[in-house]
Structure 1
Amino acid sequence: MPTEQTDRTRATGYRMLLPEEWAQVPLRQGTEAAVSAILDDAYSRIPKDAPADKIGPYKRELARRFHGAVAAAQETQALDMYLPVKPMGDGNFNLGASIMVTETLLPGHGRGAAAEPAEVAVRLLAKDGVEGADLSSGEIDGALAVRREHVAGADQSRGVELGSRRVEYVMSVPGDPDRWFVAAFSTIGAGGPRDDLAEALVEWFDAVMANFRWRYE
C-alpha cells in the first residue's frame, strides 16, 4: 500500500492554461466526440449567406484536414493534442500551430533504472537525431525540465511543404522518476519558421509552460 506521503507527491495529471481559441483533443479516449464537437462549432460559424455550392466542399475539406491531423497525432501514441480551432481575427480555421502532449519511459531501460535526470531528458530529446538545437534546463512546478528549440525543414516526400519552428519541454514526472512528460509545440508562423509570428508564438508557448501545473490525487 502506498503511503499518504507518496499519494501526495505522485503526479497523476497536468494542467495547461490556454486561450479559448484552443481546443483539447484527447487521443486515447473520447477522440471522436471531441472532433465532432470542434467541427460542429466550426460549421456553425459559416456565414448564413455563404453560397450553397461552396458550403459542402468547405466542410469536407475542413473535416479532411482536421481528421488527418488527429490521425497523424494518434500514430505517435500521444496523450493529447491542442489546436487553435476558433477564429483569431481573420475568421479562418487555423491549423498553423499545435501542441502535442506525450508520456514516455526511460529510453532503453526498464523501470527503476538509475540515471541523472538531466542526462535522461537530453537523451530523450536526442532520440530523433536533431542536431544544432538550442537546449536549456530549469524547473517547472518543482520538476526538472529540459527545453529544446529547433527548426524542422520542409519534407515534400511526407507532404510537409513548409518548415516549422518547434519547442519541446521534457519534464520528469513528480513521484515517478521513470516517467517523463513531453509537451511539444510546433508552428509554421506566417509561412516562415523564424518570422515575427513564429517568434511571438514561441514566446507565448514559453509563457504557457511557465504556468504549467501538475495534478495530484
Structure 2
Amino acid sequence: MADPVAEPDSPPTGYRLLLPEDWVQIPLRPGEAEEAVRSLVTSAFARVPADVPRDKLTALRLELERRLRAAVAEARRAKALEMYLPVKLAGEVNLGASFTVSNARLTARSGPDGDLGRVSDPAEIAVQLLSGNGAASTSEMDLSSGEVDGALAVRRERVVPAAPERGVELASRRVEYLVAVPGDPSQWLVAAFSTIGAGNPRDDLADATVEWFDALMTTFRWSWT
C-alpha cells in the first residue's frame, strides 16, 4: 500500500483487484469487448455434453451472446472502462450480478479568494458526482465514507426499482464506491456493483453478493507503470 502521508507526483496509471477465478473482466474499448464476448461464449459452451440437440444449443448460445452484448451496450452508455461478470464453474454465465469501473470528474469550484478549491465533504462529493443520474438527494442514499488504498472513498448503496419500459424487469441492489484518484483532486474512480439477488434485491443472496463486493474492494490497489 502506498504511504498515505506522501502525495504522489502523478496520478496512477491503473488499478488491480484480487478477482476470483469465477469472475471475468470485459474491457469496453471498441473491438476488445466484442472479442471478449465471443471468447466468453465459446468458453461457456465448450463443456456442453455432446448429446444436447444442436438446435437447442444454438438458441441458448444466441441468447447468451445477446444478453452479453446488451450488458456491454449498457455499460458503454454509462461510460464504463471495464465490466466484470461472474461465470459459474459449470460454464454458464450468470448475469444476476456484475460491476463496472469508470472515471468521473468533479467540476472545479472557486473559493472566496477566487482560487479553485477542493470539495472535501464526502456527502457533497457524492451529490455532485451522482446527481447527474437522478439521485440528487442524500436522503435517498445509504451513504458512508472511508478510505480505499489510502484514498478518500465514498460508498453509496440503494435499491433501483424495475423499469419495464426500458427492458429492466427486476429491481436491483446497487453499491457504488467513489474513490479519489491520487495526484488528481478532480478525478474519481467509480466502481459500481449491481445484483438482483434471487429475484429480490433485499434477499439473502443479494446480501451475500453485496458483502462479497465490499470484501473485493478491500483488495483494490492503485498501480503506477
TM-score, reference length from structure 1 = 0.89
CA shift at 1:9, angstroms?
5.0
Task: Give the equivalent residue in structure 1 for 2:23.
Answer: 22
**Residue pair 1:8, 1:216 contacting (<8 A) in 2 also:** no
Moved >3 Å (runs of 4+): 5-9, 107-110
1:44-83 pair list within 5 angstroms: 44-83=46-85
- Find the residue that maps to 1:40 and give its secondary structure: helix
Is 1:156 aligned to residue 164 of structure 2?
A: yes
Deviates more, 1:12-21 or 1:156-165: 12-21
Equivalent position amino acid for 1:57 in 2:
A
C-alpha root-mean-square deviation of aligned residues, in Å? 2.1
Deviates more, 1:25-34 or 1:156-165: 25-34
- Find the residue that maps to 2:67 and give its secondary structure: helix
Task: Give the equivalent residue in structure 2 for 1:31.
Answer: 33
Equivalent position amino acid for 2:25 in 1:
Q
Task: Give the equivalent residue in structure 2 for 1:129.
Answer: 134
Equivalent position amino acid for 1:15 in 2:
R
**Residue pair 2:108, 2:116 contacting (<8 A) in 1 also:** no
C-alpha separation in 2, matches of 1:17 and 1:152 = 28
Q: Give unpaired runs (5+ residues) of structure 2.
A: 1-5
Deviates more, 1:148-157 or 1:122-131: 122-131
C-alpha separation in 1, matches of 2:59 and 2:116 = 53
TM-score, reference length from structure 2 = 0.86
**Residue pair 1:121, 1:171 contacting (<8 A) in 2 also:** no
**Residue pair 1:107, 1:124 contacting (<8 A) in 2 also:** no
Deviations 1:154-190 (A, max 9, x none): 0011011100000000011011111110000000000
- Find the residue that maps to 1:37 and give its secondary structure: helix
Deviations 1:20-79 (A, max 9, x none): 111101112522221221111012122222112211111111111111111121122110
Give the percent of matched residue pairs that are identical in Structure 1 and Structure 2: 53
**Residue pair 1:143, 1:171 contacting (<8 A) in 2 also:** yes
**Residue pair 2:97, 2:194 contacting (<8 A) in 1 also:** yes
CA shift at 1:8, angstroms?
5.5
Equivalent position amino acid for 1:50 in 2:
V
